[in-house]
Structure 1
Amino acid sequence: MIKSKDDYKMYMCMDAQALGKKNKKIVLLGNEIWRFERALRHYEYHLNVTHNRVLILFWRIIYRSLSYKLGFEIPPNTFEGGLRINHYGNIVVNPEARIGEWCDIHQGVNIGTGFDGGVPEIGDNVWIGPGAKLYGKIKIASGSAIGANAVVNKSFNEKGTIVGVPAKKVSEKGNIYIRKLEGVN
């Protein structure tokens, strides 16, 4: 969660790096995913730090507009820095869910409430494949990989590759693309 201007700058650097962007400026045309992530981080910053109602409203309008356009329902303060959204398309995340740094997420993913009312807690450096569904009071270990169309409704406390319906661990390997922040003073 962004709690200061330094946090905001770090999140922006991490998100830019995750998406392979060298220029952190908003562009007017193209690259809507980067524009969405920037709007999300601006909105989070003003919501959590400045509390400036005008800027909160301004960034909320941009954030919501891009959310509708791209098919994302990603509430503020759910993802840590280094978010990588790979494609436009339906992504739904419960506002209470917590996802760690360097999450790599694809289209068609749903991270939501289970029958118990709980929501997922996902570690750092987790790859979530297209169409994956994660729900309930579960924990996913850092460095895991969730396969395409997996339905995950139980915790996996050790790194690995998780696939299937219902999901099961099929490999100890997990996410092979572990990211770290580069070039920050």
Structure 2
Amino acid sequence: MIQSKKEYLEYLTEDKNSLGIKTNWKTPIKELIAPNYIWKFQKKLRKLEYYKNSRTDFLGKLYGSFLKIRFRKYSLRMGFSIPINVFGPGLAIVHYGTIVINDKAKIGKNCRIHANTNIGASGGSKKAPQIGNNVYIGPGAKIFGDITIGNNIAIAANSSVNKSFNEDGIMLAGSPAKRIKEIDIKNIIPNSNI
């Protein structure tokens, strides 16, 4: 969770690296012609987190309210229902499309997430998944309930994870998800600082 301006800038840098974004003198021209909307969304997400968590003065709260309205509009346009203070640094949203995340979920650093995923509560419970660092979440994955997922884990496309997997360095697949094999997450999450 972003608590200072320094952390805000660190989160932005980690997110940018995870998305594989390189900047140079051509970047403003490229952004004008073909903007990277996912990167714009992630910048708005991090800025709102910074203002919500760190800026408690009157002007900070006022600007934070304005950012919240803009963020909500942008979220609807992108098809993302991603609350603030859920993802650690190094978030990489790979594609446009529906992504729904419960505000009680917590996801560590270096998460790579694809479209049509859902991370939420189950059966009327308010508890949501707690997911570790360096996790790849494939397209169409559903992760729900009061569960924990370890570090360095890949969740295959269209998998349904409804129980805890605390072992690190494994791949989960199926519906319901099962441990498939051990993996080296460095081969699956590019541009990560593992």
- TM-score of the superposition, structure 2-length normalised? 0.88
String of CA shifts for 1:114-155, please: whole Å, max 9, x gaps. Answer: 224321000000000000000011111110000000000000
3-state secondary structure, aligned to 2:183:
coil
Give the counterpart of 2:135 among 118, 123, 126.
126
Maintained 8 Å contact 2:94/2:113: yes
Distance in structure 2 (CA, Å) of the matches to 1:66 and 1:117: 26
**Structure 1 residue 154 corresponds to structure 2 residue 154:** no
Maintained 8 Å contact 1:161/1:174: no
Structure 1 residues not aligned, in runs of 5+? none
Structure 2 residues not aligned, in runs of 5+? none
Instruction: Report the count of equivalent residues.
Output: 181
3-state secondary structure, aligned to 1:111:
strand
Identity, % of aligned positions: 44
* Deviation, structure 1 residue 177: 3.8
Larger Rg: 2
Aligned CA-pair RMSD: 1.8
**Structure 1 residue 171 corresponds to structure 2 residue 181:** yes
Structure with a larger share of its residues in helix: 2
Distance in structure 2 (CA, Å) of the matches to 1:78 and 1:72: 13
String of CA shifts for 1:20-56, please: whole Å, max 9, x gaps. Answer: 1233998455211000000000000000001312210
* Deviation, structure 1 residue 6: 1.1
Distance in structure 1 (CA, Å) of the matches to 2:85 and 2:72: 15
* Deviation, structure 1 residue 174: 5.4
Distance in structure 2 (CA, Å) of the matches to 1:44 and 1:18: 19
**Structure 1 residue 45 corresponds to structure 2 residue 58:** no
**Structure 1 residue 59 corresponds to structure 2 residue 64:** no
